Structure 1
Amino acid sequence: MRTVRLDGHAIDYDITEGGSEANGRPPFLLLTRAPAEFVTGLRVGYHPYTWREGRQALFDQWLAAADCPPVARHLTEEMGGFDQVMWARSCRVIEDAYARWGSPLERMVALAQTRPVVHLYSQPDSADYRTAQREFGADHEWFTSSWLRGRTHFPTLESPESIADHITEFAQDRSE
């Protein structure tokens, strides 16, 4: 097992010979797990006395100092409009999902029947992360990814035309 840290993400590569027979997992399983700092941030986000600080830390990371009014408005007016009860519930659900499944990719691999998945993302902006996404897709034909070259966590708001084009292409590829 080899672990690489990229922009707050831990990526573990399992290259054990024998694959699932050797360790109970498919060969070369990409695991994008939540780093300890992220889990700590979730806990700050559901504590009744610190939830605002936890929320702001997420907002700061997601906006990444970008000048993107649609994302800034979404964070302050829409997401920022939810109260402590909703933030606490959201942070707990996210933490519980990581604790149960390890990562979103591990959860997808564990599905009884796979479905086509396209991961459209802007963060993290890392060549190593993009390579890891492509390598995972090479081993799981149901998975593809595309880095959209945005700066925020919300490419749907930052680059809606690009998102629409990618979704249209993804849907057309599946209907042919």
Structure 2
Amino acid sequence: MERTTYDLCAANGTTIHTYGWLPLSLNLGLRREFTWRFVVADVPHPIIGVDFLSHFGLLVDCRNNRILDGVTTLSAPASAANALIPSVKTISSNTPIDSLLTEFPDLTRPAGVQREIRHNTVHHIRTVPGPPVTSRPRRLAPDRLAIAKAEFDAMLRDGTARRSESSWSSALHILPKKDNG
């Protein structure tokens, strides 16, 4: 194929040359065909772009190395490229933002990603012998219940919290912040 004038830009700012388009139908093991007009590019490995994923309602589950179909709710195994540190990069490396990201990589590290522990403190919750301490569930107002569910879901997604099978429990108290948060 001959080189086209349509070029792609890599995350590090380099130009990726292209050689036309190729319509293909992919079978990803999700019980439906995905027909797409792919760009033939000068890259060592094929790349499925976010435009393809969003068009077909596909989600990438990096933790479980699979691809999820938002339409059929099926999943298929997938593999991810190895990255030393998950991070966000700018397109051009000559910007003041890029120098800030290089100097402070934690600024763009997603919440819940394991960070280096800089202490030797280990936390334990000591319990008393005997039956677990519990308190009766209390009803929450619908708006507060929605807020609590959203916060718990975010903590589960981020890896900050995990579901418990413990029989210990205590009541949940939700109060508004000074800024009405």
Normalising by the smaller structure, the TM-score range is: under 0.3
- Per the normalisation by structure 2, the TM-score is 0.24
Between Structure 1 and Structure 2, whose CA radius of gyration is higher?
A: 2
Q: Relative contact order: is structure 1 or structure 2 higher (C-alpha 8 Å, sep ≥ 6)? A: 1
Greater fraction strand: 2
